[in-house]
Amino acid sequence: MMHYISIRLEVMHMHTRKDFAIISYLRQNSRIKLSKIFESSRIPISTIYDNLKVSNKETITKYTCLVDFAKLGFNARAKLVIHSKLSRKKELLDFLLNHPNINSVYKINNGYDFLAEAIFPTMNDLEELIDTIKTRFRAKRLESYYIIGDLKREAFLSDPKMLNLVI
């Protein structure tokens, strides 16, 4: 419990409640007008503007939109958990980072090397990728978890009313 409290205090020293509030409004809608943030939060527009200038360099890594891939014809999505041979790890990582159907790649632990999200039009296409990883890169272990539907997505720090529970 003490470890959690010390981390919480470190986070609060680095950023103010206003910083977190502004980020939470942007997490809800990255195109929100500064005047709307002011109306909801009573944070002065000049403070919001200054915060965004700093955040754009330090905190906000990318402005993007969330897509319903199924509506675009990409009906097969899976998280792939991969443990690679040490001699093929860099080559596999390069393959995953450059593959057009890989949405995200993470370095993970607990006996695995990578977690990758793959998105394809069909299950057959997805299975071909899995076979390629197993054969071409001789993955020691590969587990696939097919995504049936999104239940919650990109919600952390997206509700200003919930900030007291998080920070």
Q: Give Cβ neighbours of residue 71 (< 8 Å, ≥ 6 apart).
A: none
> Which part of the chain is CATH 3.30.70.920?
69-146
Whole-model pTM: value is 0.80
Contacts of 107 (CB under 8 A, 6+ apart): 113, 114
- Phi, psi (rounded to 5 degrees) for 70: -60, -35
Q: Which residues have CB under 8 Å from 166's CB, separation 6+?
A: 20, 156, 157
State which H helix or E strand residue 51 sits in: helix 45-58
Helix (H, G, I), strand (E, B) or coil at 83: strand
Least confident range from 37-41, 49-53, 70-74: namely 49-53
Which tokens in the block code for residue 78? 């899976």
Helix (H) or strand (E) holding 139: none
Q: Where in the chain is the domain with CATH 1.10.10?
A: 2-64
- Domain 69-146 sits in CATH at 3.30.70.920
Q: How far apart are CA 159 and CA 21, in angstroms?
A: 8
pLDDT tier for residue 96 given thresholds of 50, 70 and 90: very high
- Looking at CATH, the fold of the domain delimited by 2-64 is given as Arc Repressor Mutant, subunit A (1.10.10)
Taking each helix axis from N to C end, the angle separating 34-41 and 17-28, rounded to the nearest 10 degrees, works out to 120
pLDDT in tens, 104-119: 999 999 999 999 999 9
Residue 14: pLDDT band with limits 50, 70, 90: low
Which one is predicted more confidently, 14 or 98?
A: 98
